[in-house]
Structures are given as C-alpha cells and as structure tokens.
C-alpha cells in the first residue's frame, strides 16, 4: 500500500512524561484512508494532526457505525520500540467490522500502516517504565445520506497519544460494584465487538458506581443477570480455591488480548484455568467462605487491575485483605516485563519496529 506522507510544519514539544495522563496529548500526525464500495480502500495518507469535517448526515453521527481498537507502542529497555501482539488487534478489528457491517481492513497492510506511523512518531514514545504511546485505530461509516443500511463509504484513521503510567502512585486495588440494573450487551448483540455504542451505553452505570465510591461496575449477563461477564471495560479473573476462573466468551464478552495473554502465562506457570460460566451466587459464596483468594481486571490500559472490595447491594466484601494478590502481581510483572522489553519474550508476542 502506497502511503502519501505530508509532514507538519509545526512540530510540537512533548510534555514532561509525568504530566502526560491518558489520551489528552496527541502526536503531530494522523493516518487516514477512505473506503468506497466497489473501489475498496484508497488514498492512504499521513497528514498533520487536525480536525476532520463530516457531512451532517454522515452515518456515524446518526446510527453509530463506529469501531475502534486500542494498543500500545512500548519503549524497550534497550531504547527500541515494540508493539504487543498487534495482529490480534487487527484481526479483532475485522471481527468488529464484520459485526457492524463496516469494511474490513487488509491485515498485512494494516500492520504496515501501524509500523510506518509509529516509526514516524517515534519521538512521542515515552521512555519511563509504564508509559507508552497509545494507538487508537478506528473506522466509521461515512455515507452522506440518512437511509439505514450497510455503509458504502467509510473512513479508517489512526491517531496516537503519548500516555503516562497507569500506576503512577503504585498498584492500588479498586472497589467494584456488582451492577444489577444496566447490562453492557447481550448474547447475539455487539459485546464481542469494540464498537463505540457499547461504551456510550455503559457510561451511566460507571458514573453511578463512582457516586457510591466505586471505581467501576462488575457486569452481569444481559439475559438472566446471573453470570459474571466483565469489569468496566476490562475482562475479569478470579482465583477460587487455587484455580483461576474467568468467564467464557459467550459473545457478549469482549475477547481481550490481555485476557488471552494472561491465560497463556497462567497455564505456563502451572495454574489450572477454567473458562466457564461463573454465577454471581457462586462468586458471593466464594467471598463468604473465603475461597475467593484474588480478583482482578485485565486489559491493555492497566495490564491488570486488582479488585480489593466487591459490593453487592448493601453488602461489601473485602478481597485478599484489600491487597494485590500473588498471582495478580506475578501476571503484572511477567506481562509488563515482556511488553517493555525487560524480559525474554518466550511466547513470541512482541513485534519490534
């Protein structure tokens, strides 16, 4: 794929690494290409970072035709830059596209796009451990008409944001509220797709949890409100009676790349991992009888996020004395070790640029 590059005339200065936060600062450029039915993807270009203009009838503005991905470029201990399992993000984006009737991307070319773009923006990959250049590819439907149907025009873009460490103040376990009212998605719905609408619809529950002093909600399934699904926008895992239990991918759960990597690391460490339905009753029972040893969320942003308190209705339970558990810590150390190039990549997960 031929990428036309127009460089900015006004290079910006990178803010100090400890002031980056998440998703507020952007690099100097962005990638963009257009899709038209019958013609495919065309006009691949990197241009200075700027606002985009849309027709007021653009599909994305009315019918939410939008999907995205999230991955990071990491600065290795030896100074180089690498991605973590980027092809998994590209493949997942195509599964999301298929669900939302948006055009699929050519996989190998998309990896080339990521590579070319990150190389161009390499100076924005921060250097301190825990920091990264967050990459946000996204596709949206862009027909200039109000009819509801599969789009014939779409836009793919890639933007990047140098981001600070998720754990600037150390890893502190969070309080989570089991959500009994709203559901994130349903089986047969869009739960397995990273589509914008899922996040708009789940914000309300998160806000309500925050008002009650909890960081996020634990989602239950949308049909019976019985089975545990995810925590906020992360997958969730538990250590119960020595085994690791994580909800199986039923279609309403986002198949996380961190989840998949955690499972591989855990199995490699000799743990038994069960991907199955986990009812909230079983979880509460395990909290009460003390067999619930650890609980954590996992996703690209945090890697792992230990759960220290879990609330159900008026009752609140403490997990592992409110401290990070041994397995959670081990996962964090191993995954971050591989991602930041401090440890040998025995799984073959890193993609060096």
Strand blocks (E) in the chain? 4-5, 29-36, 40-48, 66-68, 71-75, 81-84, 132-141, 153-163, 174-178, 216-220, 228-231, 234-240, 243-247, 273-276, 292-299, 303-312, 315-318, 350-352
Q: Does 299 bind ligand PLP (CB under 6 A)?
A: yes
Q: At what angle do helices 257-268 and 86-99 cross, to 10 degrees?
A: 130
- Exactly one of 132, 216, 258, 320 binds ligand PLP (CB under 6 A); which one? 258
Which string of b and e fits 239-276 if b means at least 16 CB within 10 Å? bbeeebbbbebbbbbbbbbbbebbbebbeeeebebeee
Q: Does 234 bind ligand PLP (CB under 6 A)?
A: yes
Q: Does 65 bind ligand PLP (CB under 6 A)?
A: no
Residue with smaller CB distance to ligand PLP, 143 or 221: 221
Q: Does 125 bind ligand PLP (CB under 6 A)?
A: no
Q: Does 235 bind ligand PLP (CB under 6 A)?
A: yes
Q: Does 194 bind ligand PLP (CB under 6 A)?
A: yes
Q: Does 72 bind ligand PLP (CB under 6 A)?
A: no
112 by Cβ neighbours in 10 Å (0-12 / 13-18 / 19+) ranks as middle
Q: Which stretch binds ligand PLP (CB under 6 A): 9-17, 19-27, 162-170, 250-258?
A: 250-258
Residue with smaller CB distance to ligand PLP, 46 or 304: 304
Residue with smaller CB distance to ligand PLP, 116 or 305: 305
CB of 338 to ligand PLP, least distance (A): 14
Q: Measure the CA–CA gap between 8 and 159, rounded to whole angstroms.
A: 14
Q: Which stretch binds ligand PLP (CB under 6 A): 76-84, 158-166, 233-241, 340-348?
A: 233-241
Q: Does 215 bind ligand PLP (CB under 6 A)?
A: no
- Exactly one of 83, 195, 233, 311 binds ligand PLP (CB under 6 A); which one? 233
Q: Measure the CA–CA gap between 15 and 164, rounded to whole angstroms.
A: 10
CB of 259 to ligand PLP, least distance (A): 6
| Maximum Cα–Cα distance across the chain | 64
Q: Does 230 bind ligand PLP (CB under 6 A)?
A: yes
CB of 89 to ligand PLP, least distance (A): 7
CB of 246 to ligand PLP, least distance (A): 12
Q: Which stretch binds ligand PLP (CB under 6 A): 1-9, 133-141, 228-236, 266-274?
A: 228-236
User: Residue 190's CB: how many other CB atoms inside 10 A?
Assistant: 22
H helix runs in 28-174, sequence order: 59-63, 86-99, 107-120
Residue with smaller CB distance to ligand PLP, 141 or 299: 299
Neighbouring-strand partners of residue 140: 66, 155
Q: Does 220 bind ligand PLP (CB under 6 A)?
A: no
Q: Does 66 bind ligand PLP (CB under 6 A)?
A: no
Which string of b and e fits 26-53 if b means at least 16 CB within 10 Å? bbbbbbbbbbeeeeebeebbbeeeeeee
311 Cβ contact list (under 8 Å, min separation 6): 175, 176, 177, 178, 212, 214, 317
Q: Which stretch binds ligand PLP (CB under 6 A): 3-11, 109-117, 131-139, 231-239?
A: 231-239
Task: Name the residues that contact ligand PLP, by CB under 6 A.
Answer: 70, 194, 230, 233-235, 254, 256-259, 299-300
């Amino acid at each position: 794929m031929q990428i036309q590059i127009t460089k900015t005339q006004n290079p910006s200065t990178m803010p100090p690494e400890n002031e980056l936060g998440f998703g507020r600062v952007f690099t100097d450029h962005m990638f963009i290409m257009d899709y038209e039915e019958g013609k495919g993807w065309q006009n691949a270009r990197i241009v200075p970072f700027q606002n985009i203009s849309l027709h007021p009838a653009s599909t994305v503005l009315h019918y939410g035709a939008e999907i995205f991905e999230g991955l990071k470029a990491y600065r290795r201990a030896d100074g180089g830059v690498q991605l973590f399992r980027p092809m998994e993000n590209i493949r997942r984006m195509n599964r999301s596209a298929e669900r939302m009737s948006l055009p699929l991307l050519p996989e190998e070319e998309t990896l080339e796009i990521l590579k070319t773009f990150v190389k161009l923006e390499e100076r924005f990959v921060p250097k301190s451990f825990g920091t990264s250049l967050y990459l946000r590819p996204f596709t949206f439907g862009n027909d200039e008409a109000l009819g509801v149907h599969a789009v014939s025009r779409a836009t793919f873009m890639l933007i990047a944001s140098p981001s600070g460490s998720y754990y600037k103040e150390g890893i502190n376990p969070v309080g989570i509220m089991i959500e009994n009212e709203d559901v994130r998605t349903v089986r047969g719905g869009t739960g397995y797709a990273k589509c914008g609408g899922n996040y708009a619809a789940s914000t309300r529950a998160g806000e309500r949890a925050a008002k009650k002093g909890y960081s996020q909600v634990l989602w239950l399934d949308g049909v019976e409100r019985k089975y545990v699904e995810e925590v906020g926008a992360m997958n969730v895992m538990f250590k119960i009676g020595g085994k690791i239990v994580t909800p199986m991918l039923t279609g309403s759960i986002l198949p996380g790349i961190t989840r998949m990597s955690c499972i591989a690391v855990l199995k490699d460490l000799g743990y038994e991992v069960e991907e199955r339905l986990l009812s909230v009753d079983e979880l509460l029972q395990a909290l009460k009888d003390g067999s619930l040893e650890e609980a954590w969320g996992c996703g690209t942003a945090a890697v792992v996020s230990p759960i220290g308190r879990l609330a159900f209705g008026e009752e609140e339970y403490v997990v592992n004395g409110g401290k990070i558990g041994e397995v959670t810590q081990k996962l964090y150390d191993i995954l971050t070790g591989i991602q930041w190039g401090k440890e040998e990549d025995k799984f073959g997960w890193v993609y060096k640029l």
